[in-house]
Amino acid sequence: MEIYYGNIAYSKSKTELVCHKNSYIVVDNGKVISIFDKLPVEYQKYQIIDYKDSIIIPAFSDLHVHAPQYPNRGIAMDELLYDWLNKYTFPLESKYKDPIFAKEVYEKFIEDLLRHGTMHASIYATIHNEATDILINLLEEKGIRSFVGKVNMDKDSPDYLIEDTLESIKNTEIFIKKHQNNLYAKPIITPRFAPTCSFELLKKLGELGKKYNCGTQTHIVESLWEREEAKKCYPGCTSDMRIYERADLINKPFIAGHFIFPSEEDIEILKKYDGYAVQCPNATVNVIAGIMRTGYLLDNDINLSYGSDISAGEYLGIYRGISDSIRLSKIKSFYENDDRSITFKEAFYIATKKSGEIFGNVGSFEEGYEFDALVINNMSDSFIDLSIEEMLERFCYLGETKDITHRYLRGKEIII
């Protein structure tokens, strides 16, 4: 039994941010029991970890991140998509045939992920099995709830980063079988996106998904180019989502990266299968792809989540994604009439409870949720009193890694 004292905040729903000033959160065996303004007698015998005027919040989830692209974060950001992919991203991904390079990067990536307060993630690796094994094993050892995908790409890819169709399927099955019984880091089927995958590949991956009860992550309508190219590659399909439905590849969870230009059909199919759309706020702008209709999708009860999308995105902290997402919703509603701006409460909910639910009971402090938590500096100045919500908002707008002072994973402090 552990008891933590401080200013406690978490989301209950998209309209409810629950804030407890100067309160106690009681955790048993890594799970939240309850929050008290005044500690009941029966708990007074336990030691209290006193975080004074700090804020205690649930850890963040990142639902779209390319771990192998970590070495390129924050560079070549003024390149256009084509050059960015061919001069930077694909050549870097091809280096992961070398397991020593992979291990060095993936260790640093995970450490930095935790430093930024992210404790759950859905991650793209590369086409290489050995390197992807290294990544998933590191996450499993650390007990990080995550999905990890060996990437599939068997067409329209560079010579040095392409697979034979049957080889790709075989290697995916080997990867899934090896890790299907993991407790924390689970395999997920990861076709890069429709334009780089043959229908034969997608169909066979669908069969693997059914056989091993394994979800799918991919990029869906991430740019106008991708949306049109996907339809061109799959003439019978009227939308990007239809391709995956036809391949019978929409297994749970289904994670649709970007989802910027969905047709009503895309939205309908995503909703039908209870899939998640992931906004990667600065990534999509860095590569000039456009802006997701976050307000519209929220109002239509689509599952929304955030991703850092390293290295199209540059910053691992999902808290900065919150403020970027609010800003983008304002731009979107300024330039187009198809959306509204979103609130801080909504964005914080998306980043914690909503994105977290895909991993189980994480991302909130309701009873029974795992205590995956961050202790954040108070963020106040001496000359003005902030509410807990304002402190939290300030953290999401101008916070830095130094402002995350402690990190807990299922009630155990992580030292990085």
Stretch near its own copies under the rule CB under 8 A, chosen from 75-83, 182-190, 240-248, 408-416 = 75-83
Q: Does 42 bind its own copies (CB under 8 A)?
A: no
Stretch near its own copies under the rule CB under 8 A, chosen from 102-110, 124-132, 153-161, 365-373 = 102-110
Q: Does 273 bind its own copies (CB under 8 A)?
A: no
| Contact criterion met (CB below 8 Å) for 214 and 180 | yes
Stretch near its own copies under the rule CB under 8 A, chosen from 53-61, 68-76, 170-178, 295-303 = 68-76
Interacting residue with its own copies among 21, 22, 53, 75 (CB under 8 A):
75
Backbone angles phi, psi at 379, to 5 degrees: 70, 0
Q: Please state, as a whole number, how many other Cβ atoms lie within 10 Å of the Cβ of residue 149.
A: 28
Q: Toward its own copies, which CB reaches closer, 141 or 400?
A: 400
Interacting residue with its own copies among 277, 326, 350, 375 (CB under 8 A):
326
Q: Which of 139, 200, 136, 121 is nearest to 168 (CA)?
A: 200
Binders of its own copies in range 116-155 (CB under 8 A): none
256 beta partners: 218, 277
Minimal distance, residue 172 CB to its own copies, in Å? 26
Q: Toward its own copies, which CB reaches closer, 186 or 394?
A: 394
Q: Does 76 bind its own copies (CB under 8 A)?
A: yes
Q: Toward its own copies, which CB reaches closer, 15 or 180?
A: 15
Interacting residue with its own copies among 166, 174, 288, 416 (CB under 8 A):
288
Listed in sequence order, the residues at least 6 apart from 258 whose beta carbon sits closer than 8 Å to its beta carbon are 64, 219, 220, 221, 222, 223, 278, 279, 280, 284, 289, 292, 309
Task: Report how far residue 379's alpha carbon sits from residue 388's, in angstroms, rounded to the nearest whole number.
Answer: 10
Q: Toward its own copies, which CB reaches closer, 48 or 77?
A: 77
Stretch near its own copies under the rule CB under 8 A, chosen from 162-170, 249-257, 339-347, 408-416 = 339-347
| Contact criterion met (CB below 8 Å) for 349 and 11 | yes
Interacting residue with its own copies among 42, 159, 264, 381 (CB under 8 A):
381
Minimal distance, residue 324 CB to its own copies, in Å? 9
Task: Report how far residue 189's alpha carbon sits from residue 266's, in angstroms, rounded to the nearest whole number.
Answer: 20
Binders of its own copies in range 301-320 (CB under 8 A): 314-315
Tokens of 265: 């059909």
Q: Does 401 bind its own copies (CB under 8 A)?
A: yes
Q: Toward its own copies, which CB reaches closer, 60 or 369?
A: 60
Peptide bond just before 311 cis, omega within 30 deg = yes
Q: Does 386 bind its own copies (CB under 8 A)?
A: yes
Q: Does 54 bind its own copies (CB under 8 A)?
A: no
Interacting residue with its own copies among 196, 217, 323, 355 (CB under 8 A):
323
Q: Does 344 bind its own copies (CB under 8 A)?
A: yes
Binding site for its own copies (CB under 8 A): 71-78, 101, 104-105, 108, 282, 285-286, 288, 290-291, 314-315, 323, 326-327, 330-331, 333-336, 341-344, 379, 381-384, 386, 390, 393-398, 400-402
